A and B are shown apart, each in its own frame.
Chain A
């Protein structure tokens, strides 16, 4: 186990290194942030001074090694735009994104599991076929389109929900949460649903598949024959078995949800770190882009690790992937 974790960590260091290399050089090749930030009235000399002051005039490899040296000391550089340590800027906004992602995952379970169970229980019923059809739409429809349609319908036509932004927040243990106030919840509703759609579809399918598999197992048949009530069978046997794949997939999709929040946050002006990335790209805020990606890769590595470990605990038949090769 510890060997497995160690190897994972070494791997992730490697990924981070390769990624910084690609992003660092890539972003620098696109353009020079000084060209975007300098005022029109800033003449050629002034522009050259600006580049020199930020080290943007040095050879790229030199800039990169400087960055690596600082990164090893835990300094990922200051954001050009905000002037604060890039990591700090991102972490300031991380709670908003995490809240959104958690809410989306929660919503997809709350909606997806019951619907999936129903569809698995009565596969031929009209309602089940409808559920499956909707889940196919959920898979197919692009997030950004849904987001804007939702704004139009619920915020503009019906006027039920606020269109944009994050609502009132309550600070708990130093973290600001909007999930605890009505106003906050109202603001959370549309972006959460937008972000959750794909996951809802996924969980419906997983649950349905698991349900159908479990239904044909001997112990369920046996329990049925013995006359045990459906509800009891569902709660004790079926749910437990379905939860294993669902938990795994939720774990793996959580990272994807954070990544996809980039799109949702842009549409809903949600002040999270995904929108920060898009803004940073627009002005080539290199330190911020690199720091964001490093952070997200690390989150991913940790999530995958946890999922693998949980999975091996939940289902002892599954050996950790390390054992395979």
Chain B
């Protein structure tokens, strides 16, 4: 009996831990906590990057945010208002059921119905252009819109496809968090979600794509920056996102046990200003209210741009992790303009321009901005204030948490009433990420005039208006042919930025710190995927 038990024990141990396949685990320390495993819950990177291991989209994105085949293998526009997508064949859900067009239709319907309780749901993508789906055959779908819709492929990378047989009639979020509906087609399967603590996934051996290196992936949220780095150094995690910029030089040093992977992101950091007749936070040099808004003068705006030493900000504030720019979309993106150069630092010329504009005494402004939204946001503001003050524009800085900033900048003025927003600030720092990988939304949101009916200028909080930018951007938004659209976008951007509709500072360069034994290929869109990480050969 005893012998039998012994044998049974040996056999069991041998079965459970085969010597030929030691489990490889990757533990990722992430800055933000995953709120839900429901892929339609939010569009936040910290949620998306985790879900993307389990669920897939029709259109995926490569490392530079260019659309590549995902669950759809090809797409084309049939006419001005119809796009057709061919679906990948022989794809199976994690429970073995086949993936078909019905799942896509189901996903569309789920989103159209709205996800109960999800305040940041990507459902708005479908209302945008009133997208309607039609199943043509099990491997083909068509999407119709009210008008021409050139960015359809990019938008089909906004949300994941869920399983019709699993996600029907489930409680949003809850049944994805407990695993009931968390059946995807992706390279990893759901194992465990513990809010605030960790998310665990394991490799899906039946996935159609390339086999990722890691058997098991653990995401651990560590919000404190110093603690996150400590966890890496201590061996608690293998790779972390957003290492603090002051730590970069040391991590990069030769002989360090750690390495940095970096890539210029799609997030541009810029200064925006308000164009009202009188500005609450602009004063004359002697402190009296400025009767004429100096920010309306393009020479003043140009002076403000020239007075900023972007290289110094990169070297002294960002630890080298920024890409100074004169553009709003990063190099390589659809809509990037080669002609727009970075404004070289020139305090002398800035002073001259101010003088020409009639501000030889300078003036005073308060620079507002968030202090917990962008990398080193507050430090950048302080540095800009320093530079402007030297050039003659006495600048105060007022940094606040993002929860206060964003509402104030949109409608913080006492004149604001529902339906008629008036912003509070005069000059502020903000940021914009071109999540779609192309410039249509960026130009529409930042440079086009504020117009709720047209849905344009939704981040143009300073109410910059330029009729030429507007007409070019509007035309681009209805031009399906990419070759015709590109020059429209580039031209609109060039006109807007030469007029200093806003003052771009830099693109954030995103960093990851990891053990030196690992290799990580980073992505423009700030997301961390396990298949981008592998063991060094």
Contact = CB atoms under 8 A, between A and B. Distances in A.
A33 to B, nearest CB: 6
Nearest to A162: B236
B393 interface: no
B433 A40 contact: yes
A131 B372 CA distance: 41
A282 B372 contact: yes
Contacts of A39: 43, 120, 122, 124, 435
Interface in A108-147: none
Contact of A269 (B223, B404, B436, B445): B223
Interface centre among A37, A49, A89, A152, by most B CB within 10 Å?
A: A37
Contact of A151 (B35, B120, B230, B404): B230
Given A41-B124, A44-B452, A163 B195 contact: no
B346 interface: no
B124 A54 contact: no
Nearest to A41: B441
A155 B232 CA distance: 11
Contacts of B236: 162-165
A45 B452 contact: yes
B230 A164 contact: yes
B79 interface: no
Contacts of B452: 43-45, 48
Contacts of B234: 155-156, 159, 162-163
Interface stretch (A10-18, A63-71, A74-82, A232-240): A74-82
For the residues of B in contact with A, the DSSP-based class is loop
B406 A31 contact: yes
B445 A40 contact: yes
Interface stretch (A201-209, A271-279, A313-321): A271-279
B161 interface: no
30 contacts: A30-B404, A31-B407, A32-B407, A34-B119, A35-B410, A36-B406, A37-B120, A39-B43, A39-B435, A42-B124, A43-B445, A47-B458, A80-B119, A93-B196, A152-B230, A159-B234, A163-B234, A164-B222, A165-B231, A165-B236, A266-B223, A267-B227, A268-B224, A269-B224, A269-B227, A275-B196, A275-B223, A279-B33, A282-B401, A282-B402
Interface string B390-428: 000000000001111011101000000011000000000
Given A33-B119, A39-B43, A279 B230 contact: no
Contacts of B228: 164, 269
Contact of B227 (A37, A159, A164): A164
A46 B119 contact: no
A282 B401 CA distance: 7
A50 interface: yes
Contacts of B223: 266, 269, 275, 279
A92 interface: yes
Interface in B443-460: 445, 452, 455-456, 458-459
Contacts of B196: 93, 271, 275-276
Contacts of A57: 418
A156 to B, nearest CB: 6
B118 A83 contact: yes
Given A155-B234, A271-B194, A282-B401, 13 more contacts: A40-B435, A41-B441, A42-B124, A92-B195, A163-B231, A164-B228, A165-B231, A269-B221, A269-B224, A271-B197, A279-B223, A283-B403, A284-B403
Interface residues of B, number: 60
Interface in B89-124: 114, 116-120, 122, 124
A159 B236 CA distance: 11
Contacts of A53: 114
Interface of A: 30-50, 53-54, 57, 78, 80-84, 89, 92-93, 148, 151-152, 155-156, 159, 162-166, 266-269, 271, 275-276, 279, 281-284
Contacts of B408: 31
Most interface-central of A36, A49, A267 (chain B CB within 10 A): A36
Nearest to A151: B230
A276 B224 CA distance: 13
A223 to B, nearest CB: 52
A53 B224 CA distance: 33
A267 B125 CA distance: 37
Contact of B195 (A50, A93, A148, A266): A93
Nearest to A31: B407
A43 B460 CA distance: 11
B482 interface: no
Interface in B1-46: 33, 35-36, 38, 41-43
A57 B174 CA distance: 26
A43 B197 CA distance: 34
B173 A83 contact: yes
B531 to A, nearest CB: 25
A89 B33 CA distance: 14
Most central of A81, A166, A268 by chain B CB within 10 Å: A81
A33 B226 CA distance: 28
A151 to B, nearest CB: 5
Nearest 3 A-B pairs (CB), nearest first?
A: A31-B407, A43-B455, A44-B452
A109 B340 CA distance: 67
Contacts of A40: 432-433, 435, 441, 445, 458-459
A78 B221 contact: no
B187 interface: no
Contacts of A34: 119
Could you say which of A32, A40, A162 has the most chain B C-beta atoms within 10 Å of its C-beta?
A: A40
A92 B408 CA distance: 34
B234 to A, nearest CB: 5
B404 A31 contact: yes
B124 A163 contact: no
A30 B412 CA distance: 9
Contact of B435 (A30, A41, A80): A41
B128 interface: yes
A267 B225 CA distance: 9
B220 interface: yes
A40 B43 CA distance: 10
Nearest to A273: B196
B172 interface: yes
B535 interface: no
Nearest to B444: A43
